[in-house]
Amino acid sequence: MRHFLKETDFTREEIAGVFATAAAMKRDRGRCSSAQPLARQSWGLLFFKKSTRTRVSFQVGVHELGGQPVMLNADELQLSRGESAADTARVLSRYLHGLVLRCYSHSLLEEFAQVGSVPVVNALSDYLHPCQIYTDFFTLAERWSGGNPDRYLESLKGRKIAFLGDTACNMANSFILGGALLGVEVVLAGPEDYEPGGEIRTQLKSDGLAPTWSFTTDPVAAVRGADMVYTDVWVSMGMEAEKAERLRQMQPYQVNTGLMRAAKPEALFMHCLPAHAGEEVAQEVLDSPASIIFDQAENRLHTQKAILAHLAS
C-alpha cells in the first residue's frame, strides 16, 4: 500500500507517469470511456483547515474516477471531543478505501498512514503541500514542453523559479523538495528570519537529493533571469496572530509589475491561491498575460485524479 505524504513519495519515473495520466484525464474529461479506477470505492476527505480548491477538486475528482467522496469535517467527528487520531484512523480504515487529509501538523498525516490500513494523501500540512507542487510543475510542463507529454520532465530541467515572501511556509518547503527531485533551480527571497529551516534540509538528505535551492533577502536578485515567479499568502492559516508583523516584514517582497520586469521577458506568474491582492501580489500582476493562476487551479483536479489513480493501481 502506498501513501502520498510528500513530493518524494513518488520517483521521477512515477511522476512522469502521473503527469502523462493527468494530461490524458484532462483531454478525456467527461467522455464515457474515462477511466474509473475508484469504482465501488469510498474515499474520505478529512479537513482540519479551510479549503476551496483542494476540497472541491478532490470531491469532484473522486466522483469522476467512479468513487464516492465522503466529506468529513474534523469539527463534527469525535476527534474534536478527544477520540485519539490512532483510533480514528483505524475506524475510518474499516469503512473507506483511502483518505485525503488536510491538517496542521505533518505528524498527524504520518500517524494516520502508519496506524490506518488505507492510502493517505496529504491535502496540505503546515510542512508540505505536495498536491499543489505536482500540479504547479505539471502546469509549467504543459507550457514549456509545447504540450508534448513525452517532454514534460525534460522541459522543467534547468529552469529557474523565484519564490517570494514567506519562504518558511509549506509551499517553500515543497518547492525545495520538488525542485531537487525534478532538477529545477529554486531561489527563495524573503526576510532574514524566514530562511527555510533544518527540517527540510534533513528531508533532502534523507531522500538522497542534492539541493537546488538558495535563499536571499534581495527580491530583485531572486527574480533576475527567472522563468517563473511565485508567491503565496503572507499570513498562512493558523498564523493570524502574527499578521501585522508579517505584513510589515514582507512588504519589500510584493510581486508587482516592477519586480516582474527583472525576470525573463517571457516569465510566468503563479500563485496557489487564495490571493490577497495588494499584499503579496499586485492586482495588475494577477490580471497580466503572464499570470496562469486559473490554469493552476484547474489542474489541481487533473493532477490529483492522476495521483489517486496511481495509488489505486
- Size of the chain, expressed as the number of residues it contains: 313
Which residue has its beta carbon closest to ligand CP? 54
Please tell me the distance from the alpha carbon of residue 9 to that of residue 236, in angstroms, as a whole number. Answer: 25
**How far, in Å, are 23, 114, 209, 263, 291 from residue 300 at the CA level?**
12, 26, 26, 26, 16
Which of residues 125 and 132 has its CB atom nearest to ligand CP in the complex?
132
Which of residues 293 and 309 has its CB atom nearest to ligand CP in the complex?
293
Q: How far is the CB of 48 from ligand CP (least distance, A)?
A: 12
Phi, psi of 56 (to 5 degrees): -70, -40
- Cα dihedral sign for 197, 200, 203, 208? negative
Q: How far is the CB of 242 from ligand CP (least distance, A)?
A: 19
Active-site residue set: 102, 129, 132, 232, 272, 300
Longest dimension (CA), the chain: 55
Please tell me the distance from the alpha carbon of residue 238 to that of residue 236, in angstroms, as a whole number. Answer: 6
Q: How far is the CB of 115 from ligand CP (least distance, A)?
A: 25
Could you give the dihedral angle defined by the CA atoms of residues 198, 204, 208 and 209, in that order, rounded to the nearest 10 degrees?
Answer: -130
Which residue, 192, 263, 277, is CA-closest to 233? 277
Q: How far is the CB of 46 from ligand CP (least distance, A)?
A: 14
Which of residues 45 and 204 has its CB atom nearest to ligand CP in the complex?
45
- The C-alpha cell 527574480 sits at 223
Judged by the rule CB under 6 A, the positions of this chain that interact with ligand CP are 51-55, 124, 132, 272-273
Do residues 128 and 174 make contact, with C-beta atoms less than 8 angstroms apart? yes
Which of residues 49 and 224 has its CB atom nearest to ligand CP in the complex?
49
Which of residues 75 and 83 has its CB atom nearest to ligand CP in the complex?
75
**How far, in Å, are 56, 93, 105, 161 from residue 61 at the CA level?**
8, 20, 25, 29
Q: How far is the CB of 50 from ligand CP (least distance, A)?
A: 7
Name residue 295's beta-bridge partners: none
